[in-house]
Structures are given as C-alpha cells and as structure tokens.
A and B are shown apart, each in its own frame.
Chain A
Amino acid sequence: MMKKNIENIKANLSEALELPMDIALDLPRITIVGSIEVNIFNHKGIIEYDNQIIRVNSRIGIIKVIGSQLEIKNILSEEILIVGNIEKVEILS
C-alpha cells in the first residue's frame, strides 16, 4: 500500500513538472519503427532469444517481441535493438 502511494506521488510529480515518465518512474521505453525495428531502453536482461520470439525482462514485466527472422542488432546494459519482421509486441505483466 505504502509503495503504491509513493508510486502515485512520483507519477503526479513528474506529470506536474513535465518530467519524462520513463526516467522518473524507471519504466522501459519501447520504440517501434514500422515493423522492422524495436528498440527497448531500460531493460533487465534477455529471457529467451529465438528467430521467432524474443522475450526481454523489464520492470513492468516481460516484453515479448514476436515475428520472423528476428535478430539482436545491438545489446547494451541499457538498450536492446531488435530488427526483423515484427508482428507483435506484447507486454506480460
């Protein structure tokens, strides 16, 4: 309950000060470019890597990218760049 309250305060504060939500609340930022590229910032590691499915852990749950010929173009501690034919991006929290 207490934690929930702090989260609310944070959200309200960042809204009031027009701060970017993802930074203030430590949320992942997912950028999708057409159907060829998904860029995930602020992730928490890879769970599954396959040509059809890539599952990435994050603070809000698992981000599941489904498609074909998927490939991790770039992988850093803060950022993952996935390219390929993207069909679906799911967030499983």
Chain B
Amino acid sequence: MLAIKIWNYLKGYVIIRIEGLALERLLNLALTNDIYLWDVKRLNHYQVEVCVSPKGLDNLLELVKKLGCKEEILEEKGLPFILERIKRRKPFVAGFMFFLFLIFFLSAFIWKIEVNGLEQTPKDKVLQYLESNGISSSKPKMSISEEEVELLLLNEFDYFSFIEVQKKGVKLVIEIKEEPLPPEMIDREYPTNVIAEKKGVITKVVARNGDALVKEGQIVNQGQVLISGAMLTNEQEVYLVHAEGEVYARTRYEATVSEPIIKRVEKETGRVFEQKGVKINKRGIKFIKDIPFANYKEYIREEKIFDWSIIDIPLKLITYEYREIEVQEARQNIESVKQSNQLKAIEEINEKLADDVEIIARDVKHEIDGNIVNTTVIVEAIEEIGKKVIIGD
C-alpha cells in the first residue's frame, strides 16, 4: 500500500469533487474507461469526492460533462505540482542554489588544524612552522597535500618517529608519535609536567624544577603526575614552570608460562579409509559410510571430472581420505618442564625491560595444577620512570 502511495505522490494526483445525480453511473463509466480512482468518499447523495491521476482527469472531466454533472478541483497533490509551484518561485530556487553552492564552496577549505600525540613539542611550534610554510587554516584543500605536510614535518622535527596527515572534512588532522628527546634538545621555555611512564613504588625523587607531588614509598600509576610544573606563588596564583627531575621507582614485571606434563602426540598408523563424493559448483554430495576409526584426520582432495580447456564444467570428484591416528601420551620430566618454562618466562620479561635497569629481586614460582605446570617469574627492578610532557590543552 505504501509503495502505491509513494508512486501516486511521485506521479501527482488531483482531488476532485463531483456534483450530480447519477454518480454510480459515473463511477461505472470511469471503470469501463480504465480511469483509476481511489479514496472515493460519498459526501451526500449528490456529491462525491475522488482522487484521480492527472492523466485520468481529462477523461473523467469528459465523462462528467457527458452526464451533466458539475466538478470542482479541490487540491493538486504530489511532486509534479510542487515542482510546478517551485518553478514559479524563482528567488527561492536561486537562494537554494546559492546555499548549496556555499556549502560546497566552504567545504573546499581547511578550517582547522588538529595536532594529536605531542608530548615533548609544544603544539604552537608545529602550527607556527606549518604556517610559515603556507599551511594554515582557511587554505583551499586542493593546495595542501598530505605527503607534503608529512615530509615537511619530518624534515624539521627529525625526532618524530611517525606522522600521519589526514584531511577529515574541513579539518586537517595530524597524528604524531615522538621519540624521546635527548635532554639538551628540550626547549625549556615551555611548561612541562613529569609523569610516570610505568606503575611502580617510588624510591627516590629529585625535583630540579617544579613541585614534587610524590614521596618515597608511594605507589604511582601510569600517567600520574610526579613533578608538577604548576606552582603557586605566595599570593596563591598559579604559574607554570618547566618541571624537571629524576624519579626512580621499583617496578615489577611478571610473566607466566604453562605447559602440560603429559603431552599428546599424534601418530599415523598407516591405515587409510577412502570415500568418494561429487561436488557441483559449491555444493557437495557425500556418500556417507561409517568411518571405521576412532581417531582420524580428514584430508580432502578435489579433481575435475571433465578437464577440458574450452569449457569449465563445475563438476568435481572429491576423495575424502581418513587416516587413522594413534594418540600417544608422552610423560615429560617435571623438572625439565619447570626449567624450560622458567627460561621462556625470563625471555618474555627481558623483552619488556629497558637497558638501564637495575634488577633487585627475582622470584620464581612453580605450581602444578593437575596436568599443567604453571611457572610464574617475577622480576623487581629500579628504574627511572619520569617522563616529561608538555602542559597543554
């Protein structure tokens, strides 16, 4: 019903009121003349209201005249009539076109530059550098190429390890990852915080500049501010400084490796059972027989029945091969399992450890849970966890 309504709307229709006496006759005549009528409302014994398509209207009016009835067009509905009306309103159309044009025109510019991921470099510095090279907001999108911006930034800031420039709508989004800067290269004019790179227990705080917020023995989480660059004057006003200092903390690394004592080893016995099937296109027909093995592996081979080069007939013969396997259980030496687990766990931890780390404790725990040996290695180390991050927006 909805589809018909939409169709009628698109084609347009007319609501018409007909006055007369032989209205049933009129409807029957309309039927025989193939005039499609709908929503026929009987108002009273001499009036009827009908909907009719513009095409049927002319025929209907002819009939109305023939039967001596009177008609009155009440409403014209649908898309064609709306378009007709719009055509008469030239300024409106012009305004609409102008509006569309404005949207297209304005969206062809970059209106905002977003820089994400900066930790050691002030955002202003990057933006200023870009502007001095002709890349700023309110520049046409066409004139900015992503690769160019990437190259430009890489050349200027050689410690950027990753740059991705994307045009997202009217925004230019620049994603940056930095490598840690050597201390002498850090610009001391900008306010910074020292934050924790890792979770740990503080062992030593040396704040050369800024306000140390943590004490010895305190547990800090990743990202927590250790030395703040926001300081208070005697008048209780906040001013920002370039916080600096070293923070040492005891950090903990843990790795767990599990390995079963009794290992299942699968071995083929050499007994093979085959069964055939046919495949047409993607659908397969399998001639089901019982597989006489308890443990087996399935291999499927396909070959074309008609291997002609001219036409490709999608008929394939399939061979299902079942190879019997024997599951053997191999018992491993518990001590050797423990040792190999420990080695694996330590290797795992070593990958995570930084170079200049002082290891103060190492703990190895073995736990036998049924068939499985769980080995946990915990390493405690003392290392610098402070990381300078620019205070910004």
Contact = CB atoms under 8 A, between A and B. Distances in A.
Interface of A: 45-51, 70-77
Contact of B28 (A46, A71, A73, A74): A46
Interface of B: 23-24, 27-28, 30-32, 34, 36-42, 45, 48
Contacts of A76: 31, 36
11 contacts: A45-B28, A49-B23, A51-B42, A70-B42, A71-B40, A72-B27, A72-B40, A73-B38, A75-B27, A75-B31, A75-B37
A47 B39 CA distance: 18
B31 A50 contact: no
A88 to B, nearest CB: 18
A23 B335 CA distance: 89
Contacts of B34: 77
Contacts of B42: 49-51, 70-71
Given A45-B31, A46-B28, A49-B24, A75 B45 contact: no
Contacts of A74: 38
Given A46-B24, A48-B24, 8 more contacts: A45-B27, A47-B24, A49-B27, A71-B39, A72-B39, A75-B31, A75-B38, A76-B36
A71 B45 contact: no
- The binding surface of chain A is classed by DSSP as strand
A50 B45 contact: yes
Nearest to B36: A76
Given A48-B24, A49-B24, A73 B39 contact: yes
Contacts of A45: 27-28, 31
When A and B form their complex, which 8 residue pairs have the shortest distance between CB atoms, in order from nearest? Answer: A72-B40, A45-B28, A46-B24, A75-B37, A77-B31, A74-B38, A46-B27, A49-B24
Contacts of A77: 31-32, 34
B29 to A, nearest CB: 9
Q: Select the residue from B27, B32, B34, B45 with max chain A CB neighbours within 10 A.
A: B27
Q: Select the residue from A47, A73, A75 with max chain B CB neighbours within 10 A.
A: A75
A22 B99 CA distance: 59
A51 B30 CA distance: 20
Nearest to B45: A50
Contacts of A47: 24
A49 B208 CA distance: 100
Given A76-B31, A77-B32, A77-B34, A71 B41 contact: yes
A77 to B, nearest CB: 5
A13 to B, nearest CB: 31
Nearest to A48: B24
Contacts of A71: 39-42
A72 B24 CA distance: 12
A53 B39 CA distance: 16
A46 B23 CA distance: 10
Contacts of B28: 45-46
A16 B45 CA distance: 48
A46 B40 CA distance: 12
A17 B31 CA distance: 33
B93 to A, nearest CB: 36
Nearest to B28: A45
Contacts of A50: 42, 45
Contacts of A46: 24, 27-28, 31
A74 B4 CA distance: 11
A51 B44 CA distance: 8
Contacts of B45: 50
A70 B30 CA distance: 20
A75 B40 contact: yes
